[in-house]
Amino acid sequence: MTLDPADQQLTLELDRAHVFHSWSAQGNLKPMVIAGGSGCTVWDFEGNEYLDFSSQLVNTNIGHQHPAVVAAIKAQADILTTVAPAHANLTRGQAAQRILDRAGSSFSKVFFTNGGADANENAMRMARLYTGRDKVLSMYRSYHGNTGAAVVATGDWRRVPNEYARGHAHFFGPFAYRSEFWATTPEEESARALHHLERVIVSEGASSIAALLIETIPGTAGVLVPPPGYLAGVRALADKFGIVLIFDEVMAGFGRTGTWFAFQALAEQEGGLVEPDLITFAKGVNSGYVPAGGVIISPAIAETFDDTVFPGGLTYSGHPLAMAAIVGTLDAMADEGIVENAAHVGRDLLAPGLAALAAKYPLIGEVRGVGVFWALDLVSDPETRAPLSAAGIGALKAALLKRGLLPFTADNRIHVVPPCIVTDAEVETALAIYDEAFAEVGAIA
């Protein structure tokens, strides 16, 4: 790609004149310009390069411009660029087959959507129709998307100005570092969080609850890996009360945790595979090259609609270009050992590397994660665990960008979330940059 520095200013001018940005006050925005990317690197029109340890919105699991995925999209464009969802299409069928192969034999169908939010919308709809119940329970520390019911299922601040959907209630999930339950061990946190959840179920009226919707590992809320026994306990409660269990794997799925799905990564600690009734996905299924998401459906729920119309659909459900991107992505990930690479990077590089940074810098209160899915919980006081201020996070972000690393920040955290293809050398470079940035900010914090 030939870069023209004049396009840097042109891009900013066009953006500020015509583009309305999400989750932002518009007046003083100065967005970062991205002109191109390759692998784990992006750059602007002035030639400044950045190691992308945000994976954009934690979605470019296969990295930028992977040649196999680009080629798959181009090949499909030569055959059929779009088709209505009512028709059968070979690429759509191949995409569904590959997804089901990775989810396991407990699932039989895939309903395709345009992204994660509408995947959650349709999963909740399926659960309500399957059970004949109305209410959906989800965590306060969660994000499920920015559409009518998904944003109300969301627990964080974005829910509050958007509470127009009915039938939602929330509960606290486990988070030992900032426990709501006065727990002192992971086992206590798990047991007390499960007790709390059962009390909420009973208090809300178990016979009114259609679904428990949980991120297997809450992502935007802080990469909150559940303590041992929690997922198994949630599954048991769902079974006890006849509630559909939905795992939102939009961010955690397709290699992010070093397995195809996060619930598979947690199988050992849970004493076996804990499977939901529905799985929602998007993001990493094709790294967002063409928008796609969906719901992976168990046979019991899928068969409900054999003789009953499912009252939902989207014009671009299973769009051929998106399906080709899925097939290209999942094949390349399998052929190139990309999921295994994510597991290696997490286990052998990020886990020890981030722990070493935490031992060195009191700003890092806790390190948590798995695969290429990590968060640094930053504090102004390691004793009280008071969150680092917004000014401190801003200074750290600036220090990282100055050194050529594009970070993902949320609240008082830095999320360390590179593409699953990240190399050992790139991780070592990133860890050195984090080290320098913490040294700089720690001296003034």
Structural contact between residues 114 and 293, judged by C-beta atoms closer than 8 angstroms: yes
| Distance from C-alpha of 270 to C-alpha of 264, rounded to nearest angstrom | 10
Chain mean pLDDT for the chain: 97
Q: Residue 105: what pLDDT?
A: 97
Q: Residue 443: what pLDDT?
A: 60
CB-side exposure of 324: number of CA atoms within 13 Å? 21
| Distance from C-alpha of 445 to C-alpha of 436, rounded to nearest angstrom | 14
Q: Residue 287: what pLDDT?
A: 98
Query: What share of the chain has pLDDT > 90, as a percent?
Result: 99
For residue 130, give the nearest of 274, 243, 236 by alpha carbon: 243
Type of residue found at 282: A
| Distance from C-alpha of 303 to C-alpha of 249, rounded to nearest angstrom | 23
What digits encode the pLDDT tens for the residues 391-430?
999 999 999 999 999 999 999 999 999 999 999 999 999 9
Q: Residue 442: what pLDDT?
A: 82
Q: Residue 444: what pLDDT?
A: 55
Considering the segment(s) 67-335 as one domain, its CATH architecture is 3-Layer(aba) Sandwich (3.40)
Q: Which residues pair with 110 in a beta bridge?
A: 296
pTM of the model: 0.97
Ranges of the chain whose pLDDT falls below 70:
443-445
What digits encode the pLDDT tens for the residues 219-237?
999 999 999 999 999 999 9
Structural contact between residues 98 and 292, judged by C-beta atoms closer than 8 angstroms: no
Q: Which fold has domain 6-65+337-442?
A: Aspartate Aminotransferase, domain 1 (3.90.1150)
For residue 77, give the nearest of 322, 369, 381, 241 by alpha carbon: 322
Type of residue found at 413: R
Structural contact between residues 280 and 116, judged by C-beta atoms closer than 8 angstroms: yes
Q: Residue 368: what pLDDT?
A: 98
Q: Residue 2: what pLDDT?
A: 84
Location of each CATH 3.40.640.10 domain in the chain: 67-335
Location of each CATH 3.90.1150.10 domain in the chain: 6-65+337-442
What digits encode the pLDDT tens for the residues 144-191?
999 999 999 999 999 999 999 999 999 999 999 999 999 999 999 999
